[in-house]
Structure 1
Amino acid sequence: MDVRQFVRLGRKIVAVGRNYRAHAAELGNTVPEQPMVFLKPTSSYVTQGRPIVIPPRVTELHHEVELGVVIGKEGRDIPKSSALSHVAGYALALDMTARNLQNEAKKKGHPWSVAKGYDTFCPVSDFIDRDQLDWSSCTLWLKVDGQEKQRGSTSNMIFPIPDLLAFISSIFTLEPGDLILTGTPEGVGPVVPGQTITAGLDDFLEMTFPVVGPR
């Protein structure tokens, strides 16, 4: 499989929550002792040229900018020491979150699948070859209607990428085309129909998505 086509051919999106201390703090969450993992369906992918759609049940949709890791080589129980050899490249991603639904789920002890899994809730950039990016110290940023909301360095991850791949592959076999979302820095917040999200990696890459209401 050509991993550049991960959006079309990838089998799963594995997301990591609370991987930046400041983000955990801003939502009043504790910092996890091991990676907090959840899944998003691949039907939530959306690429540039299409909008992020707010569904009828969602009264508060939040942006979360993240570095995505695209898997290039299958692996199970991957050692940290060789984890990066399983990486084909990267993508910038947004983990769009229906915060009102997530808060309801948290109170009931329910999973986050609904809050995280609607169509268009995983906007992504084009594929980035791994040699083009230093994953350990790149800057993620996000603007809403030109106003900066998020900016943070991947150097502040609680669990860096080798640790994440080792942990996740002890649960799920990682397959070519899978996408790992590595968590978001602080500054998450709401968007409403008519607004535009622009996000980037340093000055290297930029992507833009309009936000629209229910169809």
Structure 2
Amino acid sequence: MTAYLWTPPAPASLAVRGTDARLPVNRLFFVGRNYHAHAQEMGVSVDKATARPFYFTKSPVHLVDSGATVPYPPETQNFHYEMEWVAVLGRGGFRVPAERAHELIYGYAAGLDMTRRDVQLRLRDKGHPWCLGKDVEGSAVCGEVLPMPGTVLEQGEIVLEVNGAVRQRADLGLLIWNLRELIADLSLFYHLQPGDVIYTGTPEGVGPVQPGDRLHGRVAGVGEVHLTIGPAESAASAG
């Protein structure tokens, strides 16, 4: 038995519909600018004929279950929501052809990629990595996983409400790169593993939240995700 200097954290995991057993999470991949309208609202355009998908990652320790309350994070005045359709892999693969990508899928969930937008844009404009803007504590929110092994969804409404008002609405059919293409492309760079999680991109309509805001997102045929924004931590409480 391995001896540790202190107790290691519990592994990241997700709830699964229909069972008390939780799904162990390996890695969190996020796809950037995968809806044309969102890319445009971020000041860029995407030409699929000449571009490839791009990704960033978050530490699995930042994963939180739907229904959580997360504090407004430090060092930002522009904390944004990004509603996403989430795919969870149940099998591994390397250099997987797109036509076989469905074989890796375990199921799906609704998720939120919360972002320090002001920090992200400042880093982007300087040509620096986005880590401080994206890899934020409590910023990878995920609902329960709906098992759908081997199934690829081609369409379905994706919606986010903030305090009951719709802020984002689109369809999975509007993805620039579909899920088969994303899995195949990622598998060129990584040996994909069971428990790898892919946040597939956010539609247009991203915007800021404030302490006290309640977020409710849903992906048709998949599930829902809920989040409450708590107050910022004071210096005293942080210490």
Q: Does 1:206 align with 2:224?
A: yes
For residues 49 and 16 of structure 1, the distance between their equivalents in structure 2, rounded to whole angstroms, comes to 24
Gaps of 5+ in 2: 1-12, 17-21, 234-239
Q: Equivalent of 1:12, from 27, 37, 42?
A: 27
State TM-score, norm by structure 2. 0.84
> What pairs up with 1:15-30 in 2 under 5 angstroms?
15-30=30-45
One-letter code of the match for 1:108? Answer: K
Q: Does 1:42 align with 2:60?
A: yes
Q: RMSD over aligned Cα, in angstroms?
A: 1.8
For residues 52 and 90 of structure 1, the distance between their equivalents in structure 2, rounded to whole angstroms, comes to 23
Q: 1:90 maps to what in 2?
A: 108
For residues 113 and 206 of structure 1, the distance between their equivalents in structure 2, rounded to whole angstroms, comes to 27
Question: Is 1:62–1:191's contact at 8 Å kept on the other side of the alignment?
Answer: yes
Q: Equivalent of 2:177, from 159, 177, 182?
A: 159
One-letter code of the match for 1:45? Answer: L
Offset, 1:132: 11
One-letter code of the match for 1:82? Answer: R
3-state DSSP of counterpart to 2:87: strand
1:30-67 Cα distance to aligned partner (Å, 9 max, x none): 21611011111111111133213221202101111111
One-letter code of the match for 1:21? Answer: H
Q: What percent of counterpart residues are identical?
A: 32
Q: 2:166 maps to what in 1?
A: 148
User: Do the aligned partners of residues 142 and 132 (structure 1) sit closer, same or farther apart at CA in structure 2, a change above 3 Å counting?
Assistant: farther
Offset, 1:119: 1.4
1:71-119 Cα distance to aligned partner (Å, 9 max, x none): 1001111110100110000111111111010011111111111111111
3-state DSSP of counterpart to 2:154: helix
One-letter code of the match for 2:190? Answer: F
User: Do the aligned partners of residues 167 and 132 (structure 1) sit closer, same or farther apart at CA in structure 2, a change above 3 Å counting?
Assistant: closer
Q: Does 1:129 align with 2:147?
A: yes
Higher helix share: 1
User: Do the aligned partners of residues 207 and 133 (structure 1) sit closer, same or farther apart at CA in structure 2, a change above 3 Å counting?
Assistant: farther
Instruction: Find the structure with the greater CA-based Rg.
Output: 2
User: Do the aligned partners of residues 60 and 103 (structure 1) sit closer, same or farther apart at CA in structure 2, a change above 3 Å counting?
Assistant: same
Gaps of 5+ in 1: none
One-letter code of the match for 2:86? Answer: G
For residues 172 and 204 of structure 1, the distance between their equivalents in structure 2, rounded to whole angstroms, comes to 26
1:109-134 Cα distance to aligned partner (Å, 9 max, x none): 11111111111101100011116976
Q: Equivalent of 2:192, from 174, 187, 194?
A: 174
For residues 127 and 186 of structure 2, the distance between their equivalents in structure 1, rounded to whole angstroms, comes to 22
Q: Does 1:186 align with 2:201?
A: no
> What pairs up with 1:92-107 in 2 under 5 angstroms?
92-107=110-125
